[in-house]
Amino acid sequence: MILYPPAKINLGLNILRKREDAYHDIDTCMVEIPFTDILEVTKAGSFEFLQTGIKISGNGGVNLCEKAYLLLRKEFEVGPVRIHLRKQIPVGAGLGGGSADATYTLIALNELFQLGLSNQKLKQLSTDLGSDCPFFVDGLPQIAQGRGEVLSTVELDLSKYYLVLLNPGIHVGTKEAYAGVTANEQVMAVQEILEKPIQQWQHLLKNDFEQSVFHLFPEIQKLKNSLYESGAIYAAMSGSGSSVYGLFLNENTMLEFTSPHLIYKGRFKNPS
């Protein structure tokens, strides 16, 4: 079985308050984009995990796909499998690639072993793997609140726009990004802003991580500025960075955009 876990971008990201559990309450809209990893899951005689493509730096700990398998095996009849993850979404880039990989592993195992788990159960399980993970179960544009796991569907059609996605190859740690943020509850809700014409988003739809991340890495801000200078109707950093994206109304303008940090450009639509 082969699946294609997609990246996501954040349309706005308000950091509202710090919680007693050390997490933060946020308000954001997450949208899948047609830029994916490749995940193959097959039944096997013994468990095996293989990762190719982009190297995942770190201390060699358990990958989120492995954690997803171990999580499901605790509760359900799941036999040994071989998991091959072809990593194409940059790591530490604000694109949710690891979360998508974990969630899609659950989805694959659910189908492969005919467990019959509902989307609601998959969301419940995926919450244990990461705050962004439940979003990838349904794949629709969703408002994410709480620490990111409280989801509600939002009416949002971006199909007439074109997407340019840039990544400077900088790893921004989530703790590092949060360290420079000041929480603020007195802001307009993301959903309310999304209901306004997209021409107004530049002045209203903010990512609270940008101020601190741009201070640490001015080159990321320069990438965002380059998108506006090239004709983007809206541009922002995704998540806690370091990727930035721009939405373009004109296909030719989008196609003319060039950058050594370009990792995707094309029509803005959900992956099939």
Per-residue pLDDT band for 58 (boundaries 50, 70, 90) equals: low
Q: What is the pLDDT of residue 272?
A: 39
How large a percentage of the chain has pLDDT more than 90? Answer: 80
More confident residue, 53 or 178: 53
Q: What average pLDDT does range 100-121 have in this prediction? A: 97
For the stretch 56-64, contacts whose Cβ atoms lie closer than 8 Å and that sit 24 or more positions apart, written own/partner, are: 56/87, 56/91, 57/91, 57/171, 63/101, 64/98, 64/99, 64/101, 64/102, 64/105, 64/129, 64/130
**Each residue of 228-246: pLDDT tens digit?**
999 999 999 999 989 999 9
Verify that 168 and 250 share a domain, yes or no: yes
224 is catalytic: no
Indicate if the pLDDT at residue 19 is higher than 60: yes
Q: Which domain holds residue 27?
A: 2-153
144 and 193 share one domain: no
- Reported as a pLDDT band with limits 50, 70 and 90, residue 61 is low
Beta strands in the chain (DSSP E): 2-3, 6-18, 24-36, 38-43, 48-53, 81-87, 142-145, 150-153, 162-166, 234-237, 244-248, 262-267
* 148 and 176 part of one domain: no
Q: What is the pLDDT of residue 270?
A: 46
Shared domain for 6 and 122, answered yes or no, is yes
The CATH number of whichever domain residue 176 belongs to comes to 3.30.70.890
Average pLDDT, whole number, for the chain? 92
Residue 272 lies in a domain: no
> Which of the four pLDDT bands, split at 50, 70 and 90, describes residue 176?
confident
- Active-site residue flag, 8: yes
Examine the domain organization and report whether 17 and 43 are in the same domain: yes
Domain end point (choices 100, 120, 153)? 153
Both 142 and 170 in one domain: the answer is no
Round to whole Å and give the CA distance between 248 and 146. Answer: 30
Q: Please check whether residue 222 is in contact with residue 79, taking contact to mean a CB–CB distance below 8 angstroms.
A: no
Q: Could you tell me if 79 and 29 lie in one domain?
A: yes
Task: For residues 15 and 144, state if they share a domain.
Answer: yes
Rounded to whole angstroms, how far apart are CA atoms 81 and 242?
33
CATH of the domain at 69: 3.30.230.10
Asked which of 129, 153, 177 is the last residue of a domain, the reply is 153
What's residue 269's pLDDT?
67
Residue 137 has pLDDT above 70, yes or no: yes
As a whole number of angstroms, the distance between CA 8 and CA 143 comes to 13
For 26-38, what is the mean pLDDT?
A: 96
- Has residue 60 got a pLDDT over 60? no
Domain boundary among 111, 132, 153: 153
238 located within any domain: yes
- The single residue of 8, 206, 224, 265 carrying the catalytic annotation is 8
Lowest mean pLDDT among 38-42, 162-166, 209-213: 209-213
Tally of domains within the chain: 2
Q: Give the model confidence (pLDDT) of 64-97 as tens digits.
A: 999 999 999 999 999 999 999 999 999 889 999 9
Residue 10 lies in a domain: yes
Query: Residue 51 has what pLDDT?
Result: 94
Whether residue 221 is found in the same domain as residue 111: no
| Residue of higher predicted confidence among 271 and 247 | 247
Q: Is residue 251 part of a domain?
A: yes
Q: Would you place residue 247 in the very low, low, confident or very high pLDDT band (cuts 50, 70, 90)? A: very high
111 and 170 housed in the same domain? no
Q: State the catalytic residue, choosing from 123, 132, 208, 265.
A: 132
pLDDT at 271: 41
